[in-house]
Amino acid sequence: MTPSLPPGVAHRAFAEIDSTNEEAKRLGEAGEAGPIWITAERQTAGRGRRGREWVSPSGNFMGTLFLRPQAGPRKAAELSFVAAVAVHDAVDGLLPPSLRPGLKLKWPNDLLHDGRKLAGILLESSGIAGGELAWLAIGIGINLAQYPDKVEFPATSLAALGIPNVTPAEALERLAAAFDRRLREWRDVQGFAAIREAWLARAGGLGETLIVRLADESFEGTFVGLAADGALEVRTPSGDMRQISAGDVFFRRASH
């Protein structure tokens, strides 16, 4: 199947590559304009947030959207949430109605099903030119056929959920269409406010206790919401409200 992509969006497919985000960097340095979806059947050096390895077996979706965001770093960071909502949209469309309620987003941009990680997102960017990011790479991995075990955060796959025949090409087609819709929404009058509302409507764990792990500390609190800029809002046991812009989140529930 050759995926049908939105008008003006290109696609580069590889049998094997170091990582699709690395290819996006190469495209950026070569002056490509984008937008371009880069996909691979296998990655030899896939990675997740904070340099973690991203297990990349054949049969899963591994791809990166390369684009010129026409925005400064703060505004472009909102695209992390655009991507998360788009991934939710795409995967939701692959699930039967009975499984859809279990699909939730975990801050900032992991997709979970019943508390187990189904997809992850990694944004990487270049330096600033004229106040705007030169380019942005939005790497997305979706566990279609397989999922890793012996990982810190439990994972799952569509196949494990009883949906065994989704191909990476089908996933790309749905994802590219969803991302195109959400990107237009982000660029419209409501901008990030609309994306924030959509993200919160799909968020897992609102009102629940979580552990926030930062570079220099960890603390517990209640997941209250999302700030106007996308920061995680957490109320500590002392009643203080903290806003977290970067860190790892773990829910205290046994299923997580």
pLDDT digits (tens, 9 = 90+) for 1-59: 688 999 999 999 999 999 999 999 999 999 999 899 999 999 887 665 545 555 567 89
Q: Is 88 left (phi over 0), alpha (psi -120 to 50) or beta?
A: alpha
pTM: 0.92
Query: Which pLDDT score, from 0 to 100, does residue 48 have?
Result: 54
Q: What token pair was written down for 122?
A: 């990694």
Contact between 36 and 207 (Cβ < 8 Å):
no
Query: Which pLDDT score, from 0 to 100, does residue 247 have?
Result: 87
Q: How far apart are CA 143 and CA 120, in angstroms?
A: 9
Which residues does 247 contact at the CB level (< 8 Å), separation at least 6? Answer: 212, 213, 214, 215, 232
- Mapped onto helix, strand or coil, the DSSP state of residue 19 is coil
Query: Which pLDDT score, from 0 to 100, does residue 151 have?
Result: 78
In this predicted structure, the answer to whether residue 94 has a pLDDT above a threshold of 90 is yes
241-244 β-sheet, strand order: 241-244, 232-235, 218-226, 209-213, 248-251
Helix (H) or strand (E) holding 172: helix 168-187
Contact between 249 and 231 (Cβ < 8 Å):
no
Q: At 127, phi and psi to the nearest 5?
A: -70, 180
Query: Which pLDDT score, from 0 to 100, does residue 67 have?
Result: 95
The more confident residue out of 239 and 48 is 239
Write down how long the chain is: 256
**Percentage of the chain lying above the pLDDT 70 cut:** 93
| 148 prior amide bond cis, ω within 30 | no
Tell me the average pLDDT of the chain. 90
pLDDT digits (tens, 9 = 90+) for 148-186: 887 778 999 999 999 999 999 999 999 999 999 999 999
Query: Which pLDDT score, from 0 to 100, does residue 254 have?
Result: 41
In this predicted structure, the answer to whether residue 97 has a pLDDT above a threshold of 80 is yes
| Span of 42-56, 109-123, 140-154 with lowest mean pLDDT | 42-56
Q: What is the mean pLDDT of residues 128-146?
A: 91
Q: What token pair was written down for 130?
A: 């004229």
Q: What is the mean pLDDT of residues 123-134?
A: 84
Helix (H) or strand (E) holding 105: strand 103-106
Query: Which pLDDT score, from 0 to 100, does residue 253 have?
Result: 58
Contact between 123 and 83 (Cβ < 8 Å):
yes
CA angle 237, 153, 227 (to 5 degrees): 45
